[in-house]
Amino acid sequence: MLRPLGPSGRALRPAAAGTVYLVGAGPGDPGLLTVRGAQLLRRADAVVYDLLANKALLQLVPPGAERVFVGKSGEHGHTMEQDQINDLLVSLARRRRTVVRLKGGDPFVFGRGGEEMLHLRDAGIPCQVVSGVTSALSAPACAGIPVTDRTAAKSLTIVTGNEDPGDCAGCVDWAGLAATPGTLVCLMCVKRLGVLTAALIRGGRPARTPAALVRDATTPRQQVVTGTLEDLATRARLAAVRPPAVFVVGEVVRLREKLAWFEARPLFGRTVLVASPRGRAEPLRAALAELGADVLDVGVFRLAPPPDPEAGRRAVASLGSTDWLVLTSTAAVESLWTTLDGVGLDLRALRAVRVAAAGPATAAVVARHGVRPDLVSALRSAASLSEAFAAHELRARRILLWGGPETSGAPLDSSQEGPAEALRRLGAAVQTVTAYGLADEPTPAAVLERIDAGEVEALVLISGSTTRGLRRVLGAERFAALAAKAFVASIGPMTSAAARRLGVNVGVEAAEHTMRGVVDALAGSMPPRG
């Protein structure tokens, strides 16, 4: 095995217990983290991160891991000096097995990743680099600017704008760059933009060369200012562009006129609040983010253990003498399988029973567990369930109604009949199991601040219970203010009815009562800004 050599050329002592991984966090959009980066974050014992690394990525890190913010960024000054960061990495690696040094963009592109690695090498600490998506490439890409083009740009230069153009040894040769054809991408450029554009013109680049400044690229806050070398600095000042931004120069900038795709998405930059049971909104969040929205995901309650777990266990043990098993929510389906597993049973316990699912979303999760439901109601409501059962003889049939506190205990919708009563009316003998509990989840202060600042432009409601839950966790007054200001999209008639009873003015209701449906409805009818 090769052992790292110290500065003197002698072999260092055996490697310390830990390895430091210099991981590129990507330019801002958490989706641009690499798969390997995500794997390492998931098993990290310690994470050292920058200002530019998206905080959302820290959700991947195990709860027990150490997190150290070192606040470093090109133009904002340093919270921690580079020497201190280097020493911190060494000391963490001596105590921890997997130390992730998460750096904005790519660790080796103007990230001082090389310096950190040299320091670790000298301390005898193993270090690996996990490349990231650099802002130098993805900022132009998200602005609709291909950095190379078969006719317009056959080379690309990436340069720092963080020093005054001058004649020092090792300085960026701006006159040379001005004379180099192809695309120029400049990072850390905002403060000196006027000086840099002037230096390029002085060096011989035509003043009319197209140029762009791309700020907060890849995020819902992305801002692009275009112009020429002559006027870009003035335009950027008027638009109050602040760091971080990338400055792009070259004929390829013209392509943005046709290729600007990022801002063309229907919900680009719009702040959308989603109220959901905690941890269940990911598909919805992802679908909204895909359309460009800045999503505030408020988990209004989290699943809690059932009030009487023994009742569930007894009920699954007697499935053999049950005619119908009715599952009323996706969480109910999951809890059924947890309960079966807990008593040593599996799919085969459902052999003799017919399975009904309330609503297509519930049915989809049932199917994912390998069971084709015998009956699916159109909606997740008591009325819809009894309608679906109309074709079946239920007299004296034994039904096990398996659902959350709102379905098996209280009715789905407090003003209407619950599913148990509805099915009893059809003659069935209904036994209910409350398969899980719900506990209110406090809203994070950062989200409350944005709500209070009036930033939320749209509210997505996916059930009556989450709508009522949102009102509970926000308080009646804040909820009313939010609902009055935001455009409200509802997933279906039940949810709309529940929302209206709370005084909410529903702006649009999904034609198809699914997450996809409500996203399409919002995208299709969101009023323009202002």
CA distance 261 to 258: 9
For residue 73, the 8-state DSSP code is B
Size of the site for ligand SAH (CB under 6 A): 28
Residue facing ligand SAH at closest CB distance: 105
Closer residue to ligand SAH in complex, CB, 55/208: 55
CB of 68 vs ligand SAH, minimal distance in Å: 18
**Binding residue for ligand SAH, selected from 245, 332, 365, 430, defined by CB under 6 A:** 245
**Binding residue for ligand SAH, selected from 20, 22, 40, 52, defined by CB under 6 A:** 52
CA distance 30 to 54: 6
Beta strands in 366-444 (DSSP E): 375-376, 398-403, 429-434, 437-440
Does the annotation mark 154 as catalytic? no
**Binding residue for ligand SAH, selected from 21, 22, 27, 386, defined by CB under 6 A:** 27
CA distance 73 to 369: 47
**Can you state the angle between helices 493-501 and 464-474, rounded to 10 degrees?**
30
| 71 lines the binding site for ligand SAH (CB under 6 A) | no
| 292 lines the binding site for ligand SAH (CB under 6 A) | no
Beta strands in 334-462 (DSSP E): 354-357, 375-376, 398-403, 429-434, 437-440, 458-461
Alpha-carbon torsion 58, 64, 66, 68, what sign? Answer: positive
Does the annotation mark 50 as catalytic? yes
Chain centroid to CA 465: 23
CB of 225 vs ligand SAH, minimal distance in Å: 12
Closer residue to ligand SAH in complex, CB, 172/462: 172
**Residue (of 5, 51, 52) closest to 32 by Cα position:** 52
CA distance 72 to 87: 15
| 37 lines the binding site for ligand SAH (CB under 6 A) | no
| 250 lines the binding site for ligand SAH (CB under 6 A) | no
Q: Which of 29, 45, 50, 106 is catalytic?
A: 50
| 349 lines the binding site for ligand SAH (CB under 6 A) | no
From residue 134 to residue 153, what is the string marking binding to ligand SAH with x (rule CB under 6 A)?
A: xxx--x--------------
| 30 lines the binding site for ligand SAH (CB under 6 A) | no
> What amino acid occupies position 449?
E
Q: Which of 29, 45, 55, 72 is catalytic?
A: 72
| 269 lines the binding site for ligand SAH (CB under 6 A) | no
Looking at 150-248, list the stretches that DSSP marks H as alpha helix, in order from N- to C-terminal side.
174-179, 193-202, 232-238
Q: Which helix (H) or strand (E) holds 363?
A: helix 360-368
C-alpha to C-alpha distances, 521 to 420, 455, 500, 513, 526, nearest whole angstrom: 32, 21, 18, 10, 8
- The window from 64-72, 103-111, 273-281, 339-347 that contacts ligand SAH (CB under 6 A) reads 103-111
| 187 lines the binding site for ligand SAH (CB under 6 A) | yes
**Residue (of 397, 401, 372) closest to 385 by Cα position:** 401
CB of 73 vs ligand SAH, minimal distance in Å: 6
CB of 307 vs ligand SAH, minimal distance in Å: 47
From residue 195 to residue 214, what is the string marking binding to ligand SAH with x (rule CB under 6 A)?
A: -------------------x
- Contacts to ligand SAH by CB under 6 A: 27-28, 52, 74-75, 103-106, 109-111, 134-136, 139, 187-189, 214-218, 243-246
**Which residues are tagged catalytic?**
50, 72
